[in-house]
Structure 1
Amino acid sequence: MPSSDPSTPIPKVRLEIKQGTAIGPGKAKLLEALARTGSISAAARDMDMSYRRAWLLASSLNRAFKEPLVEASKGGSGGGGALLTPLGYEVLRRYRRLEQKAMRAIEADMRVFNTLLREGGEAPTDVFADDSAGALDTGHQGAASSPAGNPVEARAGTMVDAPVTTTARPRGRPRKAGGTAG
């Protein structure tokens, strides 16, 4: 499983359960908070979210499934409340199990990604801001900028004009063969 180190990124599993409706870590935490507190308002406070937001999330889950996941009772002299239904517990249990399976499946790749990340998570300043040698525009570098890394040798600080082969990947969506974009 992912490291408990707070600087280690932890992937999040989000399932689109039907068009326009998803369940992810936030809704799962809400269901857990509802089960623990027995109240939408208490669950919302636990999650530092508004009552309205918690109610809307619970309501969206209720609409997505054949039966409600959360049953709420109106307030009154004894106060209101909200309970997870048996289906609510089942959905939460299955989501958490699926989340664990997904984490195990990507664990080795996450270890590799973690070794590739910069310490402290800070990105450097814009590394492409200073292009005084023209390396990004033309693929050439002057001898003064980096002669050792230049595939075309420069003599006496001059630019050598030679073809440079690069491998480019297309950006955006691929076009269909034989057709036009659009």
Structure 2
Amino acid sequence: MMERVCVGAIAGAFGVQGEVRLKSFTSDPSAIADYAPLTTEDGSRSFEVTISREIKQGFAARLSGVLTKEQADELRGTRLFALRDRLPSLPDDEYYHTDLIGLTVVDTGGATLGTVRAVHNHGADDLLELAMPGQSKTVLLPFTQAAVPTVDLAAGRLIADPPEGLIE
């Protein structure tokens, strides 16, 4: 498990006073400021976050040390990370996406199906993008109790029972 978790990204400047457009990747989007200080991926910069207001596709926010539109524009595309211990604990049947990425996926018979490459959510259930061994294609596996009955983070694997015909 990673020590830091990506919780948001800066989409650019908002206005001319140094505010940024902030996209939140947290389950309660407005809670992103509660996890501060947020750092850049390489850890070289750290920010306190104050949300000014909700805007289309995110928030207008102030980041400590960002005072001008130019400074805000320079941060466009920057992903923001929080320390894992600042995040809330999850129930037993919920997982942070970052913990699932890289896990080996095996079928109920123990045969390796692939590795979790990414987790997607387009409004319904989560989908696990599996990188198939020896293939360049990927497969999207529904992340439901029926399709993935067992998640074993300690062993670094998922046991899957994919819908018939999904994986050939």
Task: Report the structure, 1 or 2, having the larger helix content.
Answer: 1
Q: Quick one: higher RCO (CA 8 Å, sep 6+), 1 or 2?
A: 2
Task: Report the structure, 1 or 2, having the larger strand content.
Answer: 2
TM-score (norm: length of structure 2): 0.25
TM-score (norm: length of structure 1): 0.23
Larger radius of gyration, structure 1 or 2?
Answer: 1
